[in-house]
Amino acid sequence: MRFKIDRNKFQRGIQIVQNIPQSNLSNPILEHMYLAVDASGTVTMRTSNLTLNAICRVEGTVMEPGEIAVPMKEMAQIVKELPIAEVMVEGDEGMIRIDCGPASLRLRGVNADEFPQVTFLENGVELELSASEFGGMVDKTIFATSEDRSRYILEGIKIDAEGQRLKFISTDGKRLSLVERAMEKELEKSVSVLVPGKTMGEIRRIITGEDRIRIKIGEKKIEFFGDDFTLTSNLLVDNFPPYRQLIPSEFTLSFESGTADFLRSVRRASVLVDERTLMVVLEVSPEGILVRGQSQAHGEANTIVDVEYDSEPFKTAFRCDFLQEVLKVLEGEKVRFEFKNPTSPAVIKDSKDPGFLHVLMPLKVEENIAPAAEEQPEDEEEQ
């Protein structure tokens, strides 16, 4: 193996493949990056955890084709610290030498044959959309996925595509996000799959700066393609809940407020919420919204926000972190809340994005937060 490559191109490729989540299996080869060069001048970098595979191909000047697997962490650190200049890489199955300007380093590797192979879909449903639109859809759903490993079906983002309509849906059981977009081309076949949240988060990170993204969906696998990268992932078993039944359709109460002001008020109230509940109370009236956070240990925070509302006053409450996460992804100047009644889930909508909605379960409003029970000293004798 012997090739030259621009340092920035080399680092770009490594940045794409280096963050693949580690496998639960103890397999040292998965801590390596597969590195190969061919006679056409293509430099291929690939990582895998057996479920998720990331591949990047960049151009170089190849004097001698070859392949090797090198430790991912050390290789990333080495290239990051190289000066911005041409990099010369040469080596064999057991060692590579990296020269760049005044720097010269040697890194041990292993036989590339030990690295797991990757297979690609022969058939599947294909769709394409702008990278910015795809990234926005991920941003508006990934925060509502579950982090509870025992509820793996809620760890993913559901992709529903039919005709020219594309939907991303996520839920952790306490909230639900849905975003819908129109595609340029009509699909010949509808598709409904559940993609791991870690896969969607990784592809979201990678596509920064990309123009378009192509997606190919099979029965058990999904593939993403950009200008210089490919990412393949296994799909989750699709036992996703019937999300349409979870979205309220009848409302008797609704109000609108400025998105930025409402978010700032929730942040202020969040400083003094009870650590057990993380609850902020919203007291809604035609005069405004009183956003209140209360902690028995630390005090109380109150902020009044302007509102568009002309009905009877009511009170509701939500987790402050859940409110902040949905408000952060809204694009419009106004946010709209709709309720069947004050104790029912809220449907949150964005004034600029009619294709987005978020369902948020309320908390039970507690007027007085009881202090935490005091612990008995360990050395106190029983009476």
Do 259 and 164 contact (CB within 8 A), yes or no? no
Sign of CA dihedral 194, 197, 203, 207: positive
pLDDT at 39: 95
pLDDT at 12: 93
Angle at 305 between CA 303 and CA 307, to 5 degrees: 150
* Average of per-residue pLDDT values in the chain: 92
* pLDDT beyond 80 at 162: yes
Tell me the percentage of the chain whose pLDDT exceeds 70.
94
* pLDDT beyond 90 at 230: yes
β-pairing verdict for 314-319 and 353-360? unpaired
Which part of the chain has CATH 3.10.150.10?
Answer: 2-114, 126-244, 248-360
pLDDT at 23: 66
Closest CA to 16 of 50, 53, 41, 69: 53
Confidence of residue 365 (pLDDT cuts 50, 70, 90): confident
CATH number of 126-244: 3.10.150.10
Closest CA to 317 of 270, 247, 366: 366
| Mean pLDDT to the nearest integer, 61-75 | 95
* pLDDT beyond 60 at 374: no
* pLDDT beyond 90 at 73: yes
Element (H or E) spanning 76, and its range? helix 72-81
Q: How far apart are CA 367 and CA 69, in angstroms?
A: 61
* pLDDT beyond 80 at 21: no
CATH number of 248-360: 3.10.150.10
* pLDDT beyond 80 at 139: yes
Higher pLDDT, 297 or 356: 356
Q: What six digits make up the tokens of 375?
A: 């612990």
Longest dimension (CA), the chain: 85
Confidence of residue 383 (pLDDT cuts 50, 70, 90): very low
Backbone conformation region of residue 173, classed left if phi is above 0, alpha if psi is from -120 to 50, else beta? left
Confidence of residue 205 (pLDDT cuts 50, 70, 90): very high
| Mean pLDDT to the nearest integer, 101-106 | 95
Q: What is the CA radius of gyration of the chain?
A: 26
Confidence of residue 208 (pLDDT cuts 50, 70, 90): confident
Do 202 and 221 contact (CB within 8 A), yes or no? no
| Mean pLDDT to the nearest integer, 198-224 | 93
* pLDDT beyond 70 at 371: no
Alpha-carbon dihedral of residues 306, 312, 313, 315, nearest 10 degrees?
Answer: -110
Confidence of residue 378 (pLDDT cuts 50, 70, 90): very low
Closest CA to 209 of 131, 128, 127, 129: 131
| Mean pLDDT to the nearest integer, 149-167 | 90
pLDDT at 210: 77
Q: What CATH topology corresponds to 2-114? A: DNA Polymerase III; Chain A, domain 2 (3.10.150)
Do 46 and 54 contact (CB within 8 A), yes or no? yes
